[in-house]
Amino acid sequence: MATNYLDNPAVANFVEYLKIPSVQPDVNYDGCVSFLKNQAQQIGLSFKVYEVVPKKPIVVLTWPGKEPGLPTILLNSHMDVVPVFEKSWTYPPFSGHIDDEGKIFARGSQDMKCVGIQYLEAIRKLKQAGVQLKRTLHISFVPDEEIGGLDGMKKFIHTSEFKALNIGFALDEGMANPDEEFIIFNGERSIWQIHVHCTGQPGHGSLLIPNTAGEKLRYIIDKFMDLREEQKRILENDPTLYIGDVTTINLTQIYGGVQSNVVPEKLTAVFDIRLAVTVDHTEFENRIKAWCKDAGEGVTFEFEQRNPYVECTKTDASNPFWTAFKGATDEMGLKLSRRIFPGGTDSRYIRSLGLPAIGFSPMNHTPVLLHDHDEFLKADVYLRGIDIYVKLIAAVANV
């Protein structure tokens, strides 16, 4: 059965892309670039590589539309994948092994090499059918999304090359869903990573010294964790909410001190916070300032990462691209579940320019395995996704 699937050129292309180990950290993107150049030549798309940062290529394939002056459609995906723990995998993680059930095992099979190839295979089908779209399509393959996109999409959106693409609407990655619905994401929480530094009176570990860093640290941790508990309860008590609808807080690091019997002059706690789209950023920061003040003298905080508030993409009649997207999914009889993305994707940079963007990966009846061992996607789900994109791409590009 596995060999039958590989006889399908769309599956063979997917497996070839999965075999390129574009794994973080220190990714060599050369294999991806030459693979994509070959695909562009086969399909008949123009091919460009932009390097905003050396060795961090942004690959853009373009299919001109009938009305090239109109704002264009961006189909975005990222080339990099997260690290693997090979011993925990049933099959080698860059083998693209297909088992008897048609499961394609590889790092990137869900996150998100599938979507990049599904775009290309859908365009191949549209071109073979003699279709010409109204709007120009740009298919972008970007680097370093898995480490925040800092040298990829984040920098690319500020270049004259990006502006020249004249984007009007973007599609980017979504997530698998074990159930019937296809999840679409129209917004993301803001990532704040904060280091809270607590300074205090040092001394011998046998004494009860007043005004210690440890006492202040305890106060700070309690405040953050109480808020975490409150958000947890909100999520548990309302079945209509998903993780992306609440603010999450996690204590991820504690560091400081010199040795066991010395009361340290400084201790630091690090919190990873994902602010719900309903949170007022100024108010939230003022709350943290108040906690630091109440904890005692010498308590400060700094940001490791601080995403600004980015407005969600409208999913109503005011957004003609959404109307077209939704119309196409209705026509196909797809059930949609609209949510806020729980992590971070490159969509946030696109939305920060005021451009509408929808996160969507056509993977229903599929366990969520992004970043997990034995990541796989079933071949039939992958192939159906291509047909879904044929309809979706045509719909949004003809707005």
**Residues catalogued as catalytic:** 80, 145
Can you tell me the distance from the alpha carbon of 297 to that of 11, in angstroms, rounded to the nearest whole number? 62
Strand partners, 271: 194, 251
Strand partners, 380: none
Strand partners, 56: 53
> Which H, E and C letters describe the chain, residue by residue?
CHHHHHCCHHHHHHHHHHCCCCECCCCCCHHHHHHHHHHHHHHCCEEEEEEEECCEEEEEEEECCCCCCCCEEEEEEECCECCCCHHHCCCCCCCCEECCCCEEECCCCCCCHHHHHHHHHHHHHHHHCCCCCCCCEEEEEECCHHHCCCCCHHHHCCCHHHHHHCEEEEEECCCCECCCCEEEEEEECEEEEEEEEEECCCEECCCCCCCCHHHHHHHHHHHHHHHHHHHHHHHHHCCCCCHHHCCEEEEEEEEECCCCCEECCEEEEEEEEEECCCCCHHHHHHHHHHHHHHHCCCEEEEEEEECCCCCCCCCCCCCHHHHHHHHHHHHCCCCEEEEEECCCCCHHHHHHCCCCEEEECCCECCCCCCCCCCCEEEHHHHHHHHHHHHHHHHHHHCC
